[in-house]
Chain A
Amino acid sequence: MVDLATKSLLHDKLRFLITVSGVAFAVTLVFVQVGLFLGLMGNASLTIEHLDADLWVTSRNAANIDFARAFPESYVQRVRSVPGVARADNLIVWFMNVNLPTGAVEGTEVYALEDFERWNFPWNLPEGRLEDLRRGPYFILDESAKKRWGDFRVGDYREVLGRRLKIIGRSVDAKSFTTTPLTFMDYRLAQSLNPSDLRGNTTYILVKLAPGADVEAVRSEIRRRLPYNDVFTGDEWAKHSRRYWVDSTGLGLNMYLTVFLGCLVGIVVVAQTLYTSTMEHIKEFGTVKAIGGGNYDIYLILGKQATIAAVLGFLFGALQAYAIRPLIDRIDLELVIPAELAIAVFIGSIVLCLAAAMISFRKVASIDPALVFRT
């Protein structure tokens, strides 16, 4: 069968380029916006997922993992005595100021545990040993701090809340939603740095359940014993932390709005170019009808053209998004494009392009084949 759809589409190369570019632009926009959103959301709950606690005891109405409030550390004893709890440890998450060698003051988000090894946290440690954190005024700094703090090496010192601490290790991939560099230090050291807020206090209790323990039963008992705290499962706490940023920052609205605008731009460009093309080829379509073709034959032509534009636009758009990735990495953001997103955007591109083509379908249905006799 002669492929009139493809040949006609490629015949007007400039129009074809505009159509594909429109789709590619929309696809890139969606990939970048949703990818950034997913990257940020991943950071928002990254530490929660890697700590692998079955239950999190938090202060009442805590907003998210980063914005913690202190409560008495002795509560951990009440949790440890709950049947079904295998292990319960205090965790401090707290913002502190760091004086840099340049004289600048930057913030850091401190994660403090008594035993980091037990929680295998931080999870990716190319330099240093977790057990050394207990041996003095030391801390481990994440690689991502280089962006804001400048270069550092293991063995360097930094002043945290006025106290000189030695960097004894370097972690990788430990990030927060706020992009504030993460540091890891001994629980007691963190308390000593900010005694007014943290002496005798913790901000979270991490709970690991005994094998076979009923999560809901344990949670219920912890709630009974700590009526002024909240208790979340790991998944719930991760969702809770992510939802805070989505709701409070307008990030979700921004993403949905941009995705909507991206789709709108794509659909308008494709609809406009296909409709103009239909109008310009109306006599050809009239000829198709005159020689015995029906509306269906012309719908197939338009549908195929829309699908070709969608597929090529998707490929170019995806390539652009992947090309942008290293640039986004450089500013310490992450563009996450999971296979599910790619498949959804691919299907969405085709569906939207076909929907755009349907605007031309109405015109085609009204073509009078008698127009072939008009000069």
Chain B
Amino acid sequence: MAVLEARSIQKHFTEGRERVHVLRGIDFDVERGEIVSLEGPSGSGKTTFLSILGCILTPSSGEVSIDGVAADPARLAAIRRRSLGFVFQQFNLFPSLTALENVEYALNIKGLRGEVARNEAERVIEAVGLSDRKSFLPRDLSGGQKQRIAIARALAGASPVILADEPTANLDSVSGAQILDMFRDLAKKENRALVIVTHDPKVRSIADRVVRIHDGRLAA
């Protein structure tokens, strides 16, 4: 059974008197443990689609359900807390928190507190190989290390779906390749569904499936 389902997703924005159709009816499923690369040219609607899958935007029409729960507008934040992890192109770490605290804070938001949160944060930091950097502030970490921490934050708390937006865009090719390998291993090992929006062809090498968006529609 798909852990992430999107049915007939349409999204349009109004600009002045014009209505701009960004997504024109997309059906999309992802299974647990599956890695999907979502590709497409700039302006094709990838990020808008990712925002809808991530319960950050609501579609103009269509339905999204995550882990069997329909994403109705009143419950989006709760679904994000419970079922989704995000990895951003710009890492989006909190600069005043250490690597460990960045992960732990995300767990606090998910409702985990104290020792439970601290242990889980330690576990995922170790999983991304940065135990020796856990007390470093983001400014003292390299780009690759920051992205590992961002991945650890997304994995923390057992969210079944991880959404990544251009996770290698700000990394050099060596770091990017290492991050992707690690990302694949962890997603598979922990049986998480992983959707990666990317322009980077290297992502194809770790993906189980490649999906292309073109003019707001999924292309074969």
Contacts and interface: CB of A to CB of B under 8 A. Distances in A.
Contacts of A294: 77
A290 B51 CA distance: 10
Interface of A: 1-2, 4, 7-8, 10-11, 283-284, 286-294, 297, 369-370, 372-373, 375
A290 B80 contact: yes
Nearest to A1: B108
Contacts, number: 76
Interface stretch (B84-92, B125-133, B172-180, B205-213): B84-92
B12 to A, nearest CB: 15
Interface stretch (B15-23, B27-35, B94-102, B181-189): B94-102
Interface in B144-165: 153, 165
Interface of B: 47, 50-51, 54, 56-57, 77-78, 80-82, 84-86, 88-90, 92, 94-97, 101, 104-106, 108-110, 113-114, 153, 165
Contacts of B105: 2, 4
A11 B96 contact: yes
Q: Is the interface of A mostly helix, strand, loop or mixed?
A: helix
A373 B47 contact: yes
B149 to A, nearest CB: 13
B77 A4 contact: no
B108 A2 contact: yes
A10 B96 contact: yes
Contact of A11 (B80, B85, B95): B95
Contacts of A1: 108, 113-114
Contact of B88 (A7, A10, A297, A372): A372
Contacts of B92: 283-284, 286-287, 290, 372
Given A372-B88, A373-B50, A373-B51, A293 B96 contact: no
Contact of B86 (A283, A291, A375): A291
Given A2-B104, A289-B77, A290-B54, A372 B86 contact: yes
Given A1-B108, A10-B96, A373-B56, 15 more contacts: A2-B97, A2-B104, A2-B105, A4-B97, A4-B105, A7-B94, A11-B95, A288-B109, A291-B106, A370-B56, A372-B56, A373-B47, A373-B88, A373-B165, A375-B90
